[in-house]
Amino acid sequence: MSKRKSKESSLPLGQCISRAQKILRERFCHQSNNGNRFGIESQHKHLVELLKRTVVHGEGNSALIIGPRGSGKSMLLNDALKEVGEIKQIKENVLQVHLNGLLQTNDKIALKEITRQLQLENVVGDKVFGSFAENLTFLLEALKKGDRTSSCPVLFILDEFDLFAHHKNQTLLYNLFDISQSAQTPVVVIGLSCRLDALELLEKRVKSRFSHRQIHLLNSFNFQQYLKKFEEQLLLPAGFPDVCFAEKWNSNIQALLESRTVEDVLEKHFSRSKDVRSLQMLLMLVLSRITVSHPHINAADLVEAYRLQSMDSKVSILLGLSVLEVCLIIAMKHLHDIYEGEPFNFQMVQNEFQKFIQRKVHSVYNFEKPVIMKAFEHLQQLELIKPMEGVSVRSQKEYQLMKLLLDSGQIMDALQKYPNCPTDVRQWATSSMS
């Protein structure tokens, strides 16, 4: 009987793979700590206490979470909100307003969004308010059920906080901080920013109403913790429908960590970027290589994913150029070296290219001027070269000053990988760069 049950619970391989990919992709996209807070335990505790003081005791508060992109600011906040949300007495009694500086580009748009998220459109109706402060105060008054202790707590979360500081007179920030300081409505304002000087962007009157609480995230975990994070991100959960597939998958992931190749790749990735988001992007590429014919991750998948992620986009563009366009790039680099970074024009590039052709016995590269001009314009369209700022558009195309947007390392790297690159072109490139 038990054998029959286990057979029934097992799924076809294709279905197992698609389910595993769905679970892992959701994990990579919807960031969660899964209970492990490497290096941010104290910050988490601080934030949870702050939120509890507002939602349980009715205090007004404000704080800034500061850290580089991908350091886990949103993850920390979501984790703290989840923990606070599990408290029975406040589960259905807290309102959240999420604003983003990239979307709410001025205070009028922000106020409309606050009204929408608080579901107070019908309360506001066609009322005319004298000022922004009056409108915001009216919205918060509409949420009151009585005194301070029985009012509905509101959490304002301002993502890209530094962009709100660029709004005219910083009216939104001023009023939010002012209300959070007053004892009338329990309001907490949490700002998220990747700028260390975010506080310095505030006007004096706004800064005086801010609590000056700052929570810093600095990716302080070590490589061993990073390896643990790698393992956690890829392990399938206990409730996976096909137990046999999940066991094989998880044992394969643990075996991966013992591979020296995998450790080397992860060490390189760790030295380039310590943030978890970057690791998740790498694992997303690894996961896309899993198929029915290749159902488990191996070291080669990780090496290939790292190569794709660390690939220079400009080198990739160079690999798709014609030999003529590559020759023009080499001529530009030659001019860049001779004139120590000074700008060049089409005529100078053509002259440099003609010198190269004259040194050759055969004339394989002998192109007409319009063809060379077309290739030059194509390089400009690909943004490998760009016109100098402030240069008159009226000047003839041949004499318009240009700047090269590549360095010698990128050019040499592309020439090494360029398919069937002529030997004399490669030699010319080497001689011009030595």
Q: HSE on the CB side for 291, CA within 13 Å?
A: 4
* 3-state SS, residue 158: strand
Report d(CA 335, CA 406) in Å as an integer.
13
What is the pLDDT tens value at each position of the chain, 434 positions in all? 444 444 445 788 888 999 898 998 888 887 665 555 666 778 888 888 888 888 777 788 899 999 888 778 888 888 888 888 777 666 567 788 999 999 988 888 888 888 888 877 766 666 656 677 777 777 777 665 545 556 678 889 999 999 999 888 888 888 888 888 876 778 889 999 998 888 888 999 899 888 888 988 877 778 888 888 888 888 888 888 888 999 999 999 999 988 899 999 999 888 888 777 888 889 999 999 888 898 888 999 899 888 888 777 888 888 889 989 999 999 999 998 888 888 999 999 999 998 888 877 566 677 888 999 999 999 999 989 988 876 555 677 788 888 998 888 888 888 888 888 888 888 888 875 54
Q: Which residue has the tokens 């690791």?
A: 279
Nearest CA among 170, 164, 117, 171 for reference residue 139: 117
Reading phi first (left if > 0) and then psi (alpha if -120 to 50, else beta), residue 119 is in left
Nearest CA among 408, 403, 426, 248 for reference residue 315: 408
Report d(CA 279, CA 228) in Å as an integer.
12
pTM over 0.85: no
Domain 315-433 architecture: Orthogonal Bundle (1.10)
Q: HSE on the CB side for 214, CA within 13 Å?
A: 16
Instruction: Give the bridge partners for 376, in sequence order.
Output: none
Cβ atoms of 270 and 223 closer than 8 Å: yes
Neighbours of 353 (CB within 10 A): 23
Instruction: Give the bridge partners for 214, in sequence order.
Output: 64
Indicate the class that CATH gives domain 39-216. alpha beta
- The DSSP 8-state label assigned to residue 422 in this structure reads -
* 3-state SS, residue 165: coil
Domain boundaries along the sequence of the chain: 39-216, 221-310, 315-433
Report d(CA 193, CA 187) in Å as an integer.
20
HEC secondary structure over 383-409: CCEEECCCCCCCCCHHHCCEEECCCHH
Nearest CA among 132, 74, 140 for reference residue 106: 132
